[in-house]
Structure 1
């Protein structure tokens, strides 16, 4: 669908029009979801170059693509580039929208994920705590992005061996998902979160066993228009 839309907008308004560039960004998000990293990067870089030219480097739409590139670089293991992208997006969002805007908080959360993956636990916790406090204030305790960050904190605590705190966070995330989407949603969420915790904490399981994806995975949040459900 995005490919057809892209062809149409390119023909109608040209390859560098902002409408075209938004579709390019969205196509990058789709490719990233499909695991087509090279194609995703090409789309994001094209969108970024065009947006910088059309709107400037500090426009919020430009920053959305910068954040998305950070997520992609993080997924590719390009940690230094990911951090540079996140830092650029964060500074830009803070200047344009303020430190408590949800776009700012998404990048704060993403920096937390990056730091956790690098073993920088104190920095990761600071980022997650900031994101969580902001999300609770902006959207409330049961919003999807709030629950993502709650879950991320649970993962961090689990990795630090802080099991009581980890369990509290996971339980909170599960309860929030249940209230948002019913018991079937809770069951789906359980499979991708709590299994990793209980296989870590319960001695009767000698090693982690897969249950569906079998992993306890921290959640990064992409920018506007890049195929994310965090706003729902």
Structure 2
């Protein structure tokens, strides 16, 4: 029971989906020399055959349920929620967390937990659907645990991901005030651990700027976008995809403010860079053409916008298919333009 409790004490004081625990165990048991075998020989022998395999997942799930019922629920260490998740009592969690801290290699288990939370955060796209938001919602308190209490156990390359996932979760629902502190912490954590001149800092600046832009806080977004662009150029050179993306973002900010003369050269630079880096028929080129066409449309320059929309649509259909969301967006934009004409 000590082993079970120590593992579960890493999770936040919130309902726990057992699939997250299984993933933690799978990662932990696959590490060199098997951490659990060195810590908990009896526990490792118990759980090893119970971790669901690709060929026997349903049986593994049933076995896990038996272990939960006999070893955890049976001793009232955790309770089962109406949704079928599991919840630790606060005092029980505190007790097992103190036991965990006495383990000689507790850090390895914390790293495994953090890796699972990073994977959860990475599963949420930049503009999540309601279904995707609802799907990850039960994991959010545990992702937040990795970002805060267990931040030091995140690997450098994973440091920003819990914060990014939390920001996307709240921003995707329009909860900007809840997203902002996570994106600010992301920037601060990146700067503190990785230094001011690091790609993760540029990404963090860009993400925070995007949040401000979505709220119409343009004066706060602009310097952050500019810092991100300058940093990308400094770190990666003038000819890099991240520079093209950053140019596009700054141009979009100017466009939203009606600063068309400032937006146009940036959109054009981004387009030229995408073509240079990825070729004439890449989906990113289609997106860039669509953006420049939208700028022309907003100025009433319809004769200049139409051929760009048509080029963008041709590339999108060819590379992504007619039913892809990006293709459909470009198609709608072209239809709207033609209706105006």
Q: 2:309 aligns with which of 170, 180, 185?
A: 170
Once the two structures are TM-superposed, the CA of residue 37 in structure 1 deviates from its matched residue by: 1.2
Classify 1:17/1:124 alpha carbon distance in 2 versus 1 (closer, same or farther; 3 Å): same
| Structure with greater contact order relative to length (CA < 8 Å, sep ≥ 6) | 1
Deviations 1:125-168 (A, max 9, x none): 10000000001111123333222211111111112222111001
In the alignment, the residues of structure 2 paired with residue 119 and residue 32 of structure 1 have an alpha-carbon distance, to the nearest angstrom, of 24
| Bigger mean CA offset, 6-15 vs 56-65 | 6-15
Matched residue, 1:104: 243
Matched residue, 2:124: none
Deviations 1:104-145 (A, max 9, x none): 111100111111122221211100000000011111233332
In the alignment, the residues of structure 1 paired with residue 151 and residue 294 of structure 2 have an alpha-carbon distance, to the nearest angstrom, of 46
In the alignment, the residues of structure 2 paired with residue 176 and residue 38 of structure 1 have an alpha-carbon distance, to the nearest angstrom, of 38
> Which protein is bigger by CA-based radius of gyration?
2
Contact 2:293/2:304, CA 8 A, preserved across alignment: yes
Gaps of 5+ in 2: 1-119, 122-139
Q: 1:7 aligns with which of 134, 142, 145?
A: 145
- The answer to whether 1:200 aligns with 2:334 is no
Matched residue, 1:189: 329
In the alignment, the residues of structure 2 paired with residue 32 and residue 145 of structure 1 have an alpha-carbon distance, to the nearest angstrom, of 24
Q: 2:265 aligns with which of 88, 104, 126?
A: 126
| Bigger mean CA offset, 20-29 vs 130-139 | 20-29
In the alignment, the residues of structure 2 paired with residue 40 and residue 107 of structure 1 have an alpha-carbon distance, to the nearest angstrom, of 21
Once the two structures are TM-superposed, the CA of residue 175 in structure 1 deviates from its matched residue by: 0.8
Classify 1:8/1:70 alpha carbon distance in 2 versus 1 (closer, same or farther; 3 Å): closer
SS in 2 for 1:58: coil
Matched residue, 1:36: 175
Once the two structures are TM-superposed, the CA of residue 8 in structure 1 deviates from its matched residue by: 4.9
In the alignment, the residues of structure 2 paired with residue 190 and residue 90 of structure 1 have an alpha-carbon distance, to the nearest angstrom, of 26
In the alignment, the residues of structure 2 paired with residue 13 and residue 66 of structure 1 have an alpha-carbon distance, to the nearest angstrom, of 19
Once the two structures are TM-superposed, the CA of residue 34 in structure 1 deviates from its matched residue by: 2.6
Query: With structure 2 as the length reference, what TM-score do the two structures score?
Result: 0.54
Once the two structures are TM-superposed, the CA of residue 6 in structure 1 deviates from its matched residue by: 4.3
Matched residue, 1:212: none
Q: 1:22 aligns with which of 155, 158, 161?
A: 161
Matched residue, 2:67: none
